[in-house]
Amino acid sequence: MLRLITTLLATAVLAGCATRGPAGLDLDTSVTAISQASRVRSIVLHYTTVDDATSMKLLSRGKVSAHYLINPDGHAYRLVDESRAAWHAGASSWYGNIAMNSTSIGIELVNPGWTEGQDGQPVWHAYDDRQVRALTILLRDIIQRHGIAPENVVGHSDIAPQRKVDPGPLFPWKALAAAGIGRWYDEAGAAEHLTRLQTQGVPDVTWFQAQLLRLGYTSPQDGVLDRATINTLAAFQMHYRPARHDGQPDAETAAIMLAMP
C-alpha cells in the first residue's frame, strides 16, 4: 500500500500535480476512482421523416437535437457530445425512468417514415442497407463503451407510445438482435406458448397491461382496452411482431411476451 501511495505521489509530481481546475483552485485530477459508471443508460432510435439536408438543419439548428444522425448512404454525423444531453426523447418513460434525455443517447436515421398509399393506407419506407450497416457499427461501439443492457436499446415508440411511431415497423430489430444488439425473445419458446394459448385462449387485458409494465412500457393497469393500451400494444408489436401492429391483444403477442426474459 505504501509503495502504491509513493508511486501515486511520484506520478502526481511528474504530472505537475495535474492542476487543471479554475483559476485560484488547487485541483488535483491525477487519481481516478475505480467505482464509477457511465450516466448513459439507454439508446433511443428515431427516424427523421425529412431528407438529409432538412434533417441536419432541424437537428443542429432547431429546438430538437440528437447525438447522431445517419444518412441513408451510411454517412454518420455526431451533433452532440455523448457526455451532454440531446433533446430527442420528449415526454417519455422506460422502466419508470422519465429523465430519458439526460440518461440516453439519441440516434436519428434519415427515413421518410410512412406516406399515404393510393388506397389511403400508410406505406412504410425501408431502411437502406448502408444505413443499417453504419448504425450497427455505431450501436456496438456505444453499447460496449457505456455498458448498455439489451432491453435499453429502444425505439422512440417504445418510450412514448402515445405520441410516436418511429423508428416504425420496418426498423430491423430482429436483424440487430441476431447481431447481438438489443433485446429479443426465445422464438422456440414463443412457438410453444402459442400452441398452448390457441387451445387455452388469449389472456385478458389486465394480463397484457401487466406484461407491458414488466417489459418496460408505460401502460394503464385498469383492465380496459382503451386507446392508450392499444397504442402501447402497437408499439410492442412494431418492435417484436411487426407483421401486424394493430394494438389488439392476440395470442401471438401474448406468446412473445411470455418468451421474453
What positions carry a catalytic annotation? 108
CA dihedral 93, 36, 66, 129 (to 10 degrees): -100
Say whether residue 193 binds Zn ion (CB under 5 A): no
Q: Rule CB under 5 A: is residue 67 a binding residue for Zn ion?
A: no
Binding of Zn ion at residue 239 (CB under 5 A)?
no
Q: Dihedral of the CA atoms 76, 137, 82, 112 (nearest 10)?
A: 50
**Of 158 and 252, CB closest to Zn ion:** 158
Nearest to Zn ion of 166, 252 (CB atom): 166
Spatial distance between the Cα atoms of 152 and 135, rounded to a whole number of angstroms: 16
Shortest gap between Cβ of 182 and Zn ion (angstroms)?
Answer: 17
Q: Closer CB to Zn ion, residue 105 or residue 197?
A: 105
Binding of residue 156 to Zn ion (CB under 5 A): yes
| CB 227 to Zn ion: min, Å | 20
DSSP secondary structure letter of residue 49: S
Residues 62 and 47: their CA atoms lie apart, in Å, by 16
Binding-residue total with Zn ion (CB under 5 A): 3
- List binders of Zn ion among 166-185 (CB under 5 A): 166
What sign has the CA pseudo-torsion 251, 257, 260, 261?
negative
Look at the block and give the residue holding cell 492542476: 19
Q: Tell me the closest approach of the beta carbon of residue 46 to Zn ion, in angstroms.
A: 3
- Considering only 92-100, 138-146, 160-168, 227-235, which stretch makes contact with Zn ion by CB under 5 A? 160-168
Q: How far is the CB of 66 from Zn ion (least distance, A)?
A: 8
46 binds Zn ion (CB under 5 A): yes
For residue 223, with 0-12 CB atoms within 10 Å meaning exposed, 13-18 middle and 19 or more buried, which class applies? middle
Q: Which of residues 67 and 156 has its CB atom nearest to Zn ion in the complex?
A: 156
Cβ 235 to Zn ion, closest distance in Å?
12
In degrees and rounded to multiples of 5, residue 44 shows phi and psi of -115, 130
Binding window for Zn ion (CB under 5 A); candidates: 50-58, 96-104, 159-167, 245-253: 159-167
Q: Which is nearer to Zn ion, 58 or 142 (CB)?
A: 58
* DSSP reduced 3-state for 77: strand
Which is nearest to 94 in space by CA: 148, 171, 58?
Answer: 148
Among 5-13, 52-60, 111-119, 149-157, the segment contacting Zn ion (CB under 5 A): 149-157
Peptide bond preceding 167 in cis form (omega within 30 of 0): yes
Q: Name the grid cell of 32.
A: 481516478
Question: Which residues of this chain interact with Zn ion, rule CB under 5 A?
Answer: 46, 156, 166
